[in-house]
Structures are given as structure tokens and as C-alpha cells.
Amino acid sequence: MEKIAVFLIPLLLGVILFRILLAPIRLVVKLALHAAAGLLSLILLNFLAPLSGVLIPVNAVTVLVSGIFGLPGTALLILLELIPA
């Protein structure tokens, strides 16, 4: 019985620790994937800039806005670019 407890307790603690550490890693991976999608949408938009007349600079703020908010974030950046100063 003691041999089973010696084996199961560290295993159980390892599983609990793994699950606790996995949640922040998932959040970071999700944010990175969304930021990559935002970067891709901005690059595509800038590639089509001669046709649309909208050129949005690709920097950390615009990538995070379009990455976190997705298509509505990219649309917001387009609207902000179209508003005259």
C-alpha cells in the first residue's frame, strides 16, 4: 500500500501542477495566434492598398488591435485611417 501511495502522490501533484501551468500557456498561444492573424490581415490590406487607398502601418499596436478584436478591429483601424485629421 505504501508503494502505491509513494507512486500516486507525486503523480497526482504533477498532474495538478501541469494543469495549473497549462492555462497561462494556452492564453499566450491564443494571443500569439490572434496576433499572427491580425498581422496577416494587415499585410493583406496593405498589399491591396493601391486598389483601396487605405494604408495602415504595421506596428505592435495595430497588430494587437486587429489580433485581439479580429475583423472588427481591422475594420476599426480602416475607419480610423479614413477619418480626416
Per-residue pLDDT of 31-40, as tens digits, reads 888 888 888 8
Amino acid at 19: R
Spans of the chain below 70 pLDDT: 85
Q: Give me the pLDDT at residue 22, please.
A: 86
Q: Give me the pLDDT at residue 47, please.
A: 92
Q: Give me the pLDDT at residue 85, please.
A: 67
Nearest residue to 57 via CA among 34, 36, 80? 80
- Mean pLDDT (the chain) is 86
Residue 74: CB atoms within 10 Å: 21
